[in-house]
Amino acid sequence: MAAPSRLLIRGGRVVNDDFSEVADVLVEDGVVRALGRDLLPPRGPPSGLRVLDAAGKLVLPGGIDTHTHMQFPFMGSQSIDDFHQGTKAALAGGTTMILDFAVPQKGGSLIEAFETWRSWADPKVCCDYSLHVAVTWWSDQVKEEMKILVHDKGVNSFKMFMAYKDLYMVRDLEMYAAFSQCKEIGAIAQVHAENGDLIAEGAKKMLALGITGPEGHELCRPEAVEAEATLRAITIASAVNCPLYIVHVMSKSAAKVIADARRDGKVVYGEPIAASLSTDGTHYWSKEWHHAAHHVMSPPLRPDPSTPDFLMNLLANDDLTTTGTDHCTFNTCQKALGKDDFTKIPNGVNGVEDRMSVIWEKGVHSGKMDENRFVAVTSTNAAKIFNLYPRKGRIAVGSDADIVIWDPKATRFKKGGIRHFQIPRLQIVNHIVTISAKTHHQAVNFNIFEGMVCHGVPLVTISRGKVVYEAGVFSVTAGDGKFIPRKPFAEYIYKRIKQRDQTCTPTPVERAPYKGEVTTQKSRVTKEDATAGTRKQAHP
């Protein structure tokens, strides 16, 4: 990346998760150097300082998308957004960091998977990124590799799949072992919570009924299948006092399980995604096969149309904590691998470019959350959980200058008549964005948010001090983004865990030794003994 420029973002309303204030932000060498009123000298900007006027706009920490799958080899295909186009699209939507997943095959090395993903991402990424690593099987080698990944490679989160039977699915005892190791090395356990056995049986049943279309995908994995696995994962994590993060919360039932667990004091976090917060599973019944197929993801979107509102309310009140997208895109011809059998449709939807505007629209514009909560759920909470805070997820002196100048007002430029202008590949009318596959920057040829009108618009995106996207134009090159290593034992999640280890570990009851008679133990109980025993009990 070219030498970071000096920037002064002037007069905007700086929004953090806990506080908003009108202030200038001075950016130098990729970080925030100063924050305050009237930072511009009265004689004007010194040479080499670019001034961005943010009056009337919001100045937000860049978004952190906690869940993406760029160029993921999956279900006989590879997701079409690679680390280049996918991260460029992220920047256009106001997201300045993604957390992607390195996923080894069963029996494969976690470290090799991690290095493979790095070799794909490093030369291509346009925004900063980090990697979660999946645990798809269990052995001493996996246990050791988790430790190495944490100590030497900057990983502090491991994901277990409870679904995708025979591919990635792990069983309860494997999860117990993996969660125990996470706790030992200071990582957070993540789960894709769905009962893989029930799904496999349900899928057979649907196919036997002649249901081969995308509706079969939802029918074989109803809400209870997600809720049961969510509760099971929380129960296992709680048994080993390990912090747990439930990825892609898709249903009201699963969200209720998480909310109940949090109210019970469990250290568990739920991540709804842009899709589950704004659209629903009625699309699976569309008469257009390609339309229905483009919504196929796991867990599925829910046919209950009250789901998005419900999840957004829980996100607003902290029952749910972060937001991702599970951005894992496949073009129509790739989805068509499953044209005769829904189980073969590559799973995944878009969202990396859309998340910020969608959550603004459905969360803030709707009145469910304020601008500070918006920042909490789109960046700060993720930064805290994954130990990136306050480098990321905050605008403060010393933080990385990952900043978005955000226009929250639909008609602020209007002075008589509609100001309607078109800038390359982004259609804005009075700064209202209408999402469309025709104008988005994502590689995929379909957008599940097609036609959604959003009032919150990223005008300028700044990545580590450099303006990378402005008025529809990119100034970024593949490889400009950086891998951001993460340290273990994030205080935000581990303070409670450590304290509980000290104070909540069971201790034996101190009592005088039993001095009475003890029956002799027999190596094998005969039928006569058993009968005699029963008689003895019945007539003491």
Ligand X SMILES: NC(=O)NCCC(=O)O
Q: Considering the complex, what minimum distance in angstroms separates the CB of residue 329 from ligand X? A: 10
The residue (of 103 and 462) whose beta carbon lies closer to Zn ion is 103
The Cα–Cα gap between 350 and 327 comes to: 5
Residue 334 contact partner, candidates ligand X, Zn ion, none, CB within 5 to 8 A by sort of partner: none
Q: Considering the complex, what minimum distance in angstroms separates the CB of residue 98 from Zn ion? A: 12
Residue 407 contact partner, candidates ligand X, Zn ion, none, CB within 5 to 8 A by sort of partner: none
The residue (of 183 and 248) whose beta carbon lies closer to ligand X is 248
The Cα–Cα gap between 241 and 332 comes to: 43
The Cα–Cα gap between 137 and 132 comes to: 16
Cβ atoms of residues 93 and 354 within 8 Å? yes
Q: In the bound complex, which residue of the shown chain has the CB atom lying closest to Zn ion?
A: 192
Using only the alpha carbons of the chain, give its radius of gyration: 26
The Cα–Cα gap between 148 and 110 comes to: 10
Long-range pairs for 527-534 at CB < 8 Å and ≥24 separation?
none
The residue (of 30 and 348) whose beta carbon lies closer to ligand X is 348
Q: Considering the complex, what minimum distance in angstroms separates the CB of residue 69 from ligand X? A: 5
Q: Considering the complex, what minimum distance in angstroms separates the CB of residue 297 from ligand X? A: 3
**Token digits for 490?**
């994030």
The answer to the question of residue 347 lying near ligand X (CB under 6 A) is yes
The residue (of 199 and 454) whose beta carbon lies closer to ligand X is 199
The answer to the question of residue 81 lying near ligand X (CB under 6 A) is no
Q: Give the residue from 238, 237, 167 showing the smallest Cα distance to 196.
A: 167
Q: In the bound complex, which residue of the shown chain has the CB atom lying closest to ligand X?
A: 347
If phi > 0 it is left, if psi is from -120 to 50 it is alpha, else beta; for residue 164 that is left
What is the CB neighbour count within 10 angstroms for residue 332?
14
User: Which residues have CB under 8 Å from 134's CB, separation 6+?
Assistant: 101, 102, 103, 104, 110, 113, 158, 159, 160, 161, 168
Q: Considering the complex, what minimum distance in angstroms separates the CB of residue 276 from Zn ion? A: 12
- Tokens 């069971």 locate to 506
Q: Considering the complex, what minimum distance in angstroms separates the CB of residue 65 from Zn ion? A: 11
Stretch that binds Zn ion, among 205-213, 261-269, 320-328, 424-432 (CB under 5 A): 320-328
Q: Considering the complex, what minimum distance in angstroms separates the CB of residue 7 from ligand X? A: 36
The answer to the question of residue 298 lying near ligand X (CB under 6 A) is yes
Of the candidate residues 324, 348, 363, 393, the single one contacting ligand X (CB under 6 A):
348
Of the candidate residues 10, 33, 57, 69, the single one contacting ligand X (CB under 6 A):
69
Phi, psi of 249 (to 5 degrees): -75, 120
H/E run at residue 22: strand 20-28
Of the candidate residues 326, 353, 400, 480, the single one contacting Zn ion (CB under 5 A):
326
Strand partners, 385: none
The Cα–Cα gap between 65 and 51 comes to: 28
- Tokens 């133990």 locate to 521
By rule CB under 6 A, what string of x and - marks binding of each residue 182-211 to ligand X?
Answer: ----------x-------------------
The answer to the question of residue 194 lying near Zn ion (CB under 5 A) is no
Q: Is 204 helix (H, G, I), strand (E, B) or coil?
A: helix
If phi > 0 it is left, if psi is from -120 to 50 it is alpha, else beta; for residue 107 that is left
Q: Considering the complex, what minimum distance in angstroms separates the CB of residue 248 from ligand X? A: 6
- Count of residues of this chain found to bind ligand X when the rule CB under 6 A is applied: 9
Residue 348 contact partner, candidates Zn ion, ligand X, none, CB within 5 to 8 A by sort of partner: ligand X
The residue (of 89 and 364) whose beta carbon lies closer to ligand X is 89
Q: Considering the complex, what minimum distance in angstroms separates the CB of residue 526 from ligand X? A: 54
Any idea what the Cα angle at residue 73 is, between residues 64 and 127, rounded to 5°?
A: 25
Of the candidate residues 153, 192, 262, 486, the single one contacting Zn ion (CB under 5 A):
192
**Token digits for 132?**
């979660």
Q: Is 249 helix (H, G, I), strand (E, B) or coil?
A: strand
Q: Is 522 helix (H, G, I), strand (E, B) or coil?
A: coil
Of the candidate residues 59, 178, 188, 328, the single one contacting ligand X (CB under 6 A):
328
Stretch that binds Zn ion, among 176-184, 195-203, 322-330, 481-489 (CB under 5 A): 322-330
DSSP letter (8 states) at residue 364: I
The residue (of 192 and 482) whose beta carbon lies closer to Zn ion is 192
The Cα–Cα gap between 212 and 194 comes to: 21
Residue 431 contact partner, candidates ligand X, Zn ion, none, CB within 5 to 8 A by sort of partner: none
Which residues here bind ligand X, judged by CB under 6 A? 69, 192, 248, 297-298, 326, 328, 347-348
Which residues here bind Zn ion, judged by CB under 5 A? 192, 326
